[in-house]
Structure 1
Amino acid sequence: MADPLRIGVLGCADIARRRMLPAFAADPDTALVAVASREGRRAAELARAHEGCAAVEGYEQLLATEGVEAVYVPLPVALHAQWVEAALLAGKHVLAEKPLTADPADTRRLLALARSRGLVLMENVMFVHHPQHAAVRSLVEDGAIGEPRSLSARFGVPRLPSGDIRYAPELGGGALLDIGVYPVRAAVHLLGSPLRVVGATLESGPHAVVETSGTALLRAESGVAAQLAFGMDHGYRSSYELWGSEGRISVRRAFTPPADHRPVLRLERRGGVEEIALEPADQVALTVAAFVRACRAGHGGAPDAEACLEQSDLLDGIRRSSGPPTPHAAHAAHAAEGHR
């Protein structure tokens, strides 16, 4: 039996605290050995909650720590390229929060670097590891809805606290990279590639300097269209629907289901409606397990490289197609009032 994969964490982000560190600690195939912060106090506070985990001040110090085989990078997206590269150059496998970078050129460069050094670089897109999406793809492949015609995917979350880093443009904030990445990846996961951006809009809400909502229309070579909507000033919604020539499949709680959630796929056809109940699944634990398997397989590179690159190109295409975010109507009116 292989020894547990020894993991260090670069940063004390909320997703690390709430989801990933508990998953590392619970998996017998991983050992959480160190957590780093630019402030030693924050690292010490987080490390105390996990037996055998050392607190390290400074990301460079963690990368130099003997015995750390892999690192998890939950830093803001604007810092991903720098620290993912540093980790790979230090000989560590990397699990990085999504999106891997904000620039397709950086994404390609890092994936090539990982491959050349025989190291795993995996993007932490957890929902693709949930079995409900494999069940959807199986139904489509079996002809349950006939020929696919369109995908509609929606993901929105309520307004965040005003000081949240996702409102900071210098850190890569904004709805596109934080929220829009989910429906974009759903399109890649369910429709395959290549996809192209037909049109897109981004809008900034009141008092925000980053986009807080957006829409995008994508098209596959087959002609299947994907209509995407996302935002971080919305009533919660996490769903998608695949519509075909003979029916449709809809999925609720598509992107961030809790581990005890019992998925129900709704299949609507001319003969009626069928609800297909699935067993609960912990997509966080499944993601950790997939990362460990990739690291232990001995093959360098990214297990999801093609999807990661396609996603990166689409996010960039949405940004370019939409142009600068359009101010929310109330925000624009306020600005106009201030210039009178």
Structure 2
Amino acid sequence: MNPTTGGTALRIGVLGCADIAWRNTLPAILRVPEVRLTALASRDPAKARTFADRFGGTPVQGYDALLARDDVDAVYVALPTALHHPWARRALLAGKHVWAEKPLAATAEQAEDLVRLARTHDRVLRDGFSFPHHSQHAVVAKLIAEGRIGEPRAFAGAFGIPPRPAGDVRYSAELGGGALLDVGVYPVRAAQLLLGDDLAVAGSVLRMDRARGVDLAGSGLLHTPDGRTASLDFGFDRSYRSRYAVWGSEGRLSLDRAFTPPAAHRPVLRIQRQDHYEELSLAPDDQLAGLVRAFADAVREGGDPRPYEATLLRHAALTDEIRVGARRVAD
């Protein structure tokens, strides 16, 4: 599985010169010495050159041309959600390790296909959620395990952003747009992180833009077999919000900027009990660099991929259940 030895950096090629790659992911790659950006592919050669001029690597016209290169060990798929499955699939068949933007695929069936293919070809397959790599969530899990809020009973997560420009890819049904696949997937993954993968969907609502065929916002209710619940709210029709809270038998814990904190941001964790209120200032952390480093470590060190695959597949299944079973309300 390991294409690198010693101090040799993992050589990464990028499929798609997307805005998220320009703003977030490629700068993070440059901050991680364990990896090296070697090629960037776009259908537009001028765009590939612009990205290469800023971040390094060889500009490549066309995604297949990048997959054919022997100086690329792994591929970062920075394409719209509907294109994750076909191009991640081609990359795995070309013998590349794959890290795709979140969510890994548009449907659970597609995610299952990619996991099977990665196993068959002994390649590492990861999605692009960076927030689990921030140390603030380990602090939250530790405090819950120590009983600081008693037994956890309910999780509530919310992620919303203001409306996007009219031509934004998030409004394209053909390219896998919609609020659920863009921002709703975050609180779903956070619920898994804190309540475990044994979650099921009790119900959901999606507010639809009928003309464009995409959901603008939504809510969902998940539950565990023992009755703990996770309520989720998301959308790109509202003010920015990125937070979650865990309500326990003896108190409540809440965290703002839970999903997209800048690397220099110092998180504030709030704990409330009957006669006690506490704010903990946590250390800043570079979650994007953590994501890149974790991917490189998985390629170098191998290990059992099944726990990660189980979380990834359950996430895809929960997202499918939220969408398929949703009550749809017209805008």
Give the structure-2-normalised TM-score: 0.96
1:121–1:302 contact (8 Å) kept in structure 2: no
The question of whether the paired residues in 1 share the 8 Å contact of 2:173 and 2:212 is answered with no
Structure 1 residues 18-97: aligned runs within 5 Å:
18-51=23-56, 53-97=57-101
Task: Name 1:238's counterpart in structure 2.
Answer: 242
Q: Tell me what 2:190 maps to.
A: 186
Residue 138 of structure 2 is aligned to residue 134 of structure 1: yes
Cα-Cα RMSD: 1.4
Q: How does 1:100-119 map to 2 (within 5 A)?
A: 100-119=104-123
Pairwise mapping of residues 146-295 of structure 1 onto structure 2 (< 5 A)?
146-205=150-209, 208-295=212-299
Q: Which residue of 2 aligns with 1:333?
A: none
Amino acid at match of 1:278: L
Retained in 1: the 8 A contact 2:134–2:285? yes
Shift of 1:195: 0.6
Counterpart CA distance in 2 for 1:173 and 1:218 is 23
Q: Is the partner of 1:304 in helix, strand or coil? A: helix
Residues 179-225 of structure 1: CA deviation (Å, up to 9, x unaligned): 10001111111100211110100002586431100000000112101
- 1:309-336 per-position Cα deviation (integer Å, ceiling 9, x unaligned): 111011100011115x4212xxxxxxxx
The amino acid that maps onto 2:93 is L
Q: Is 2:9 the partner of 1:4? A: yes
Q: Distance in 2 between matches of 1:143 and 1:18?
A: 39
In the alignment, residue 163 of structure 1 is paired with which amino acid?
Answer: G
Task: Summarize the Cα distance change of 1:120–1:300 in structure 2 as closer, same or farther, 3 Å threshold.
Answer: farther
- Cα distance, 1:151–1:117 mapped onto 2, change above 3 Å: same
Aligned to 2:330: 327
**For residues 239 and 28 of structure 1, do their structure 2 counterparts lie closer, same or farther at Cα, with a shift above 3 Å needed?**
same
CA distance in structure 2 between the aligned counterparts of 1:279 and 1:134, rounded to whole angstroms: 12
Structure 2 CA distance for aligned equivalents of residues 277 and 50 of structure 1: 34
Give the % identical residues. 49
Q: How many pairs are equivalent?
A: 326
CA distance in structure 1 between the aligned counterparts of 2:168 and 2:136, rounded to whole angstroms: 31
| Matched AA of 2:7 | A
Please report how far the alpha carbon of residue 165 of structure 1 lies from its aligned counterpart in structure 2 after TM superposition.
0.6
Q: CA deviation at 1:302?
A: 6.6
> Quick one: distance in 1 between partners of 2:285 and 2:184?
23
Shift of 1:106: 1.4
Match of 2:45, as an amino acid?
G
Structure 2 residue matching 1:138: 3-state secondary structure: helix
The 3-state SS of whatever aligns with 1:212 is strand
Instruction: Tell me the distance in 1 between the aligned counterparts of 2:129 and 2:269.
Output: 21
Deviation at 1:303, TM superposition (A): 6.3
Q: Secondary structure at the match of 1:72?
A: strand
Return the offset for 1:50. 2.2
Q: Deviations over 1:16-60 (max 9, x none)?
A: 111111111221111100000011111111111123x10000000
Q: Residue 3 of structure 2 aligns with which residue?
A: none
Q: CA deviation at 1:271?
A: 3.3
TM-score, with structure 1 as normaliser: 0.93
- What 5-or-longer segments of structure 1 have no aligned partner? 329-340
Relative to structure 1, the CA distance from residue 303 to residue 297 in structure 2 (aligned partners, 3 Å threshold; closer, same or farther) is farther
Residues 1:94 and 1:303: Cα distance change in structure 2 (over 3 Å): farther
Give the drift of 1:305.
Answer: 1.1
Whether the aligned pair in 2 keeps the contact of 1:104 and 1:309 (CA below 8 Å) is yes
Structure 2: give runs of 5+ residues left out of the alignment: 1-5
TM-superposed CA distance for 1:103, in Å, is 1.4
CA distance in 2, matches of 1:255, 1:162: 25
With over 3 angstroms needed to count, the CA separation of the structure-2 counterparts of 1:303 and 1:38, relative to structure 1, is farther
